Amino acid sequence: MEETTEIKSFKQMVISWKASYLSQVDGAGGNEYLVKDFWEEIEEKILPYVESARFARWAFQQVKDLERLIKEIESNELSIESIIPEPR
């Protein structure tokens, strides 16, 4: 099944938001609120308009990925610069 233009647009929004949340990570910890806020933003601003369980699963996977990346950054296994390169 091919994705609609609307679904593609929503996916791009989620990806952009995820990058924005990643840019706010503090390597010292205490970033749990970012994961919560990211999921709430998806729940409030996108999911009410998308009747696709497949999209909802994909979006939830993005939230879980954000959570994983934050944990890696906090444990110094990953640097934010390796995820979001500085603009040149």
pTM of the complete model beyond 0.95? no
Residue with the two structure tokens 């709430």: 40
Q: Are 27 and 80 in contact (CB under 8 A)?
A: yes
Tokens of 73: 């950054």
Number of structural domains in the chain: 1
pLDDT, averaged in runs of 10, over the chain (88 residues): 86 97 92 97 96 96 97 81 63
Domain assignment present for residue 51? The answer is: yes
Q: Are 75 and 27 in contact (CB under 8 A)?
A: no
Q: Is 88 helix (H, G, I), strand (E, B) or coil?
A: coil
Domain assignment present for residue 28? The answer is: no
| Per-residue pLDDT reduced to its tens digit, 66-75 | 999 999 988 8
Domain assignment present for residue 21? The answer is: no
Domain assignment present for residue 45? The answer is: yes
CA distance 19 to 83: 9
Range of the domain at 46: 35-81
Looking at residue 86, what is its pLDDT?
61
Domain assignment present for residue 20? The answer is: no
Closest residue by Cα to residue 79 from 25, 14, 19, 13: 25
Domain assignment present for residue 5? The answer is: no
Domain assignment present for residue 86? The answer is: no
